């Protein structure tokens, strides 16, 4: 019995040695009959413990070994086809939170701020200038591309394009995410959108207004391609607006007529309603019920009058827009004014008749 | 494997790339190799002879070299949309490494899966998509069904009855003329 | 988004068609109605997508079969139990259910089509001309008939009969009023004694 105990002890020792060895990542096969069982149990236990510890902590890209900030900045500029001044573009990526963090660090270390020059400047100035340019150019471009679209619609499209989510999405896919110096990680959408505006500001500062506008035209405006612009502007009463617009043009009031219907008594009913003005068809649209079809037909008619139908020519972007000349002072009509004029006229007519 | 289980996706473009200006989607490449091991010899050859040319031609791609002892050579490519691709190139000739580098440069970070359709467009139709009433006669809109006119077979050509009747009416009219002439 | 929703609704909508089966061959009719039930007339057709239309057929009681098909064309049925096989001539089936012949004709024409049971549900058959108002309101189009409806003597007005030119002289011993008399042929002479009507 003692012999067997000794033997089992020795065996146990050997096993512990082997488990120690297997603590390293590579596991060699050792020809022992019970070895595979132990190995399996060991690997299962390690897997369980790894899951308990949780996933790998998300780190900034700069924390990995293969990172060189200067070369990344250089590559960023070249990738976009722009020649930046290094100081400007570096400034564009510095967020105010980073500046404050640096200040706090230096205060902690006991360094006197008066002695050392604090070079870091955050990107808020560049971002402001960039934001102004983006806003202005987007509106000017849209007003020139859609000259008959109402001002409210232009503003709606502008708000969509210049929104935080859109600009942060663009910034992320240009490669700003890894270059940003800020306290928050993962980078917030607000930081990303501000960085994008700062980049545009940097282009404006280094290369001039025309190049900055080309930049906006190449990155911000193509995001309209997959979007229906008429859906961005919410019109509450399309029929009312249509009546006012037709009166403005000098055509007769809109008359909706049922064109075709199918399966009127079923769930899958379909009605086609056409809107006529002076006995001429303006637009037609289908719908699940007559009211829906009428409303959609009114919207279609408005689209036709504003020249923003689905069959309109595409936006002038890329190389086609190299020699594009825009009228910066163009003003589009306002829908609210049109409605106001129409209804005030109606009131006058009513009071006159009364 | 059933159709649903094979990974597939429509054609995708990152951020409408190419519509405005073309941006190379490859953000950075890292060449990992061992300085002494035999498997990395071709990789070292590539780094000595071909890498500078590549980096000069593509200034928008950040190139890193990462020597790792006792490890197989590999390339890590990181794309603008966050995708990371690792290629192991043990014992691959320098020309093949060149080709793989070129492949990584020219693709976007979208995962390569089976394409459902190799065309994508945002405006599939300019004349409007078909609907059942596109080419129907507008008269049908005011017709009350069932309608005998629309139901009956269209007459094409003359039946035997028609031919005989025509002959008879011709003969009759001729006869009448004949009678009239005779009477006169 | 709303506009695309509504245009998709319009493209994938089911249209309702009406067809008059008066004096039509059921088999030719079935062949004529197939593309409408399957949706083959639509450019959005695909066998996997359910794009078939509804077809309303009336006057199925007045269909016309060629030759002696009323007597010789058999419908078979098996109840899936032992000894459950039966067959009946077309005229017997027609007497029992005036829509059955046309229904079976369309069903057998759709052989090989996987969604045929669903398509049969979209076929609405009415023996006479009275179709319910609710169904008539759904109808959007009419399918042309397959055969010319012959004009019977009773369909001609007296005027037209009088106006019709005399093509030839009858022989002297011809019985002119013979068509008005009763048909004195005995019915059921072709059927075995076991199956004759009582």
Per residue, what are the HEC states of A166-222? Answer: HHHHHHHHHCHHHHCECCCCCCCHHHHHHHHHHHHHHHHHHHCHHHHHHHHHHHCHH
Burial of A130: CB neighbours in 10 Å, binned 0-12, 13-18, 19+: buried
Non-local (6+) Cβ contacts of C58 within 8 A are B146, C18, C19, C20, C21, C125, C126, C127, C128, C129, C130, C131
Distance CA C16, CA C143 (A): 10
Chain A residue with Cα closest to B141:
A260
Reported pTM: 0.82
Select from B151, B154, B167, B176 the residue whose CB has the most chain C CBs within 10 Å, as the one to mutate to test that interface.
Answer: B151
User: Do A161 and A180 touch, CB atoms closer than 8 A?
Assistant: no
- Our measurement of the distance from residue B67's CA atom to the centroid of its chain's CA atoms, rounded to an integer in Å, reads 42
User: Nearest Cα to A282, choosing from A299, A260, A304?
Assistant: A304
The secondary structure of residue C137, as a DSSP letter, is H
ipTM: 0.83
The per-residue pLDDT for A353 is 86
Name the least confident of A1-15, A224-238, A275-289, B61-75. A1-15
Integer Cα distance of A196 and A169 in angstroms? 10
pLDDT of residue A11: 46
For B56-95, write each residue's pLDDT tens digit: 999 999 999 999 999 999 999 999 999 999 999 998 999 9
Kindly identify which residue of chain B lies nearest to residue A309, measuring between CA atoms: B126
Q: Which CATH number fits domain B2-114: 1.10.510.10, 3.40.30.10, 1.50.10.10, 2.30.30.90?
A: 3.40.30.10
Percent of chain B, pLDDT > 90? 69
List, as own/partner pairs, every contact residues A113-122 make where C-beta atoms lie below 8 angstroms and the sequence separation is at least 24, other chains included.
A120/A94, A121/A91, A121/A94, A122/A91, A122/A94, A122/A95, A122/A96, A122/A98
Q: How confident is the model at residue A287 (pLDDT cuts 50, 70, 90)?
A: very high
Residues of C in contact with B169 (CB under 8 A): 165
Low-confidence ranges of chain C (pLDDT < 70): 183-187, 198
Residue A189 · residue A197 · CB < 8 Å: no
Rounded Cα distance, C98 and C92, in Å = 10
A-C C-beta contacts closer than 8 Å? 55
Residues of B whose CB is below 8 A from C134? none
Q: Is A264 on the interface with C (CB under 8 A)?
A: yes
* Confidence at residue B108, expressed as pLDDT on a 0 to 100 scale: 93
Which of A25, A65, A79 is most worth mutating to test chain B (most B CB atoms within 10 A of its CB)? A79
SS3 B63: strand
Assign A16 a pLDDT band (cuts: 50, 70, 90). very low
CA–CA separation, A88 vs C36, rounded Å?
69
Which residue of chain C has the CA closest to A268? C13
Q: What value does the mean pLDDT of chain B take?
A: 90
* Distance in Å from the first CA to the final CA of chain A: 123
pLDDT of residue A9: 45
Rounded CA-CA distance A123/A194 in Å is: 8
Domain ranges of chain B: 2-114
> A312-342: per-residue pLDDT in tens?
999 999 999 999 999 999 999 999 999 999 9
Residue-wise pLDDT for A144-193, tens only, equals 999 999 999 999 999 999 999 999 999 999 999 999 999 998 999 999 99
Q: Which residues of chain B are within 8 Å of residue C155 when distances are taken between CB atoms?
A: none
Least confident of A25-39, B90-104, C55-69: A25-39
pLDDT of A10 > 50? The answer is no
Strand, coil or helix: A26: coil
**Residues in chain A whose beta carbon is closer than 8 A to a beta carbon of chain B?**
65-68, 71-72, 74-76, 78-81, 169-170, 172-175, 178, 217-219, 221-223, 225-226, 258-260, 262, 272, 286, 310-311, 314, 317-318
């Amino acid at each position: 019995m003692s012999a067997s105990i000794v033997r089992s002890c020795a065996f146990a020792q050997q096993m512990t040695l082997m488990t120690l060895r297997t603590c390293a990542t590579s596991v060699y096969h050792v020809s022992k009959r019970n070895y595979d069982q132990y190995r399996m149990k060991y690997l299962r236990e390690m897997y369980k413990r790894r899951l308990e510890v949780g996933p790998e902590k998300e780190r900034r890209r700069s924390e990995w070994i293969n990172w060189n900030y200067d070369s990344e900045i250089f590559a960023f500029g070249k990738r976009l086809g722009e020649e930046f001044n290094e100081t400007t573009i570096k400034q564009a990526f510095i967020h105010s939170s980073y500046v404050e963090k640096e200040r706090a660090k230096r205060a902690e270390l006991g360094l006197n701020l008066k002695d050392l020059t604090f070079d870091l400047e955050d990107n808020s100035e560049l971002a402001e200038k960039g934001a102004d340019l983006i806003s202005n150019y987007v509106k000017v471009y849209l007003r020139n591309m859609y000259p008959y679209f109402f001002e409210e619609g232009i503003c709606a499209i502008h708000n969509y394009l210049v929104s935080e989510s859109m600009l942060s999405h663009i910034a992320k896919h240009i490669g700003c995410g890894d270059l940003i110096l800020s306290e928050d990680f993962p980078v917030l959408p607000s930081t990303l959108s501000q960085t994008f505006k700062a980049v545009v500001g940097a282009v404006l500062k280094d290369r001039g207004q025309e190049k900055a506008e080309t930049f906006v035209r190449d990155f911000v405006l193509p995001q309209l391609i997959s979007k229906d612009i008429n859906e961005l502007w919410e019109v509450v009463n399309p029929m009312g607006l249509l009546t006012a617009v037709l009166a403005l043009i000098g055509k007769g009031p809109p008359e909706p007529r049922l064109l075709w219907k199918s399966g009127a008594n079923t769930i899958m009913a379909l009605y086609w309603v056409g809107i006529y003005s002076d006995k001429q068809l303006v637009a037609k649209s289908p719908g699940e019920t007559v009211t829906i079809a009428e409303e959609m037909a009114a919207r279609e008619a408005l689209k036709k009058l504003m020249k923003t139908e689905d069959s309109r020519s595409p936006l002038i972007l890329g190389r086609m827009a190299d020699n594009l000349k825009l009228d910066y002072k163009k003003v589009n009509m306002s829908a609210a004014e049109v409605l106001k004029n129409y209804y005030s006229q109606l009131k006058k007519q009513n009071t006159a008749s009364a | 494997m059933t159709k649903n289980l094979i990974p597939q996706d429509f054609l995708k473009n990152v951020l409408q790339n190419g519509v405005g200006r073309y941006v190379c989607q490859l953000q950075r490449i890292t060449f990992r190799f061992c300085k002494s091991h035999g498997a990395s010899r071709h990789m070292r050859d590539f780094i000595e002879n071909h890498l500078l040319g590549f980096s000069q031609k593509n200034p928008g791609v950040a190139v890193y070299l990462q020597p790792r002892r006792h490890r197989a050579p590999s390339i890590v490519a990181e794309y603008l949309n966050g995708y990371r691709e690792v290629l192991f190139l043990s014992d691959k000739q320098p020309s093949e490494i060149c080709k793989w580098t070129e492949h990584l440069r020219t693709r976007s970070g979208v995962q390569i899966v089976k394409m459902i359709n190799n065309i994508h467009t945002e405006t599939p139709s300019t004349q409007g998509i078909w609907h059942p009433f596109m080419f129907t006669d507008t008269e049908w809109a005011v017709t009350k069904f069932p309608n005998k006119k629309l139901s009956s077979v269209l007459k094409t050509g003359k039946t035997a009855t028609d031919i005989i009747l025509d002959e008879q009416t011709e003969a009759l009219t001729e006869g009448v003329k004949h009678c009239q002439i005779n009477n006169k | 988004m709303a506009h695309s929703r509504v245009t998709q609704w319009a493209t994938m909508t089911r249209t309702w068609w009406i067809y008059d089966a008066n004096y039509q061959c059921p088999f030719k009719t079935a062949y004529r109605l197939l593309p409408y039930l399957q949706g083959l007339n639509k450019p959005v057709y695909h066998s996997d997508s359910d794009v078939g239309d509804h077809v309303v057929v009336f006057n199925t009681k007045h269909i016309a079969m060629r030759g002696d098909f009323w007597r010789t064309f058999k419908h078979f049925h098996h109840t899936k139990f032992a000894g459950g096989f039966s067959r009946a001539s077309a005229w017997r089936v027609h007497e029992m259910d005036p829509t059955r012949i046309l229904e079976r004709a369309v069903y057998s024409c759709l052989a090989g089509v996987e969604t045929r049971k669903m398509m049969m549900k979209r076929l609405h058959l009415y023996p006479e001309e009275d179709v319910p108002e609710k169904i008539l309101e759904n109808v959007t189009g009419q399918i042309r008939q397959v055969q010319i409806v012959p004009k019977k003597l009773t369909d001609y007005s007296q005027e037209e009969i009088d106006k019709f030119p005399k093509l030839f002289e009858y022989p002297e011993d011809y019985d002119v009023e013979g068509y008005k008399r009763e048909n004195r042929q005995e019915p059921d002479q072709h059927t075995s004694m076991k199956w004759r009507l009582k």
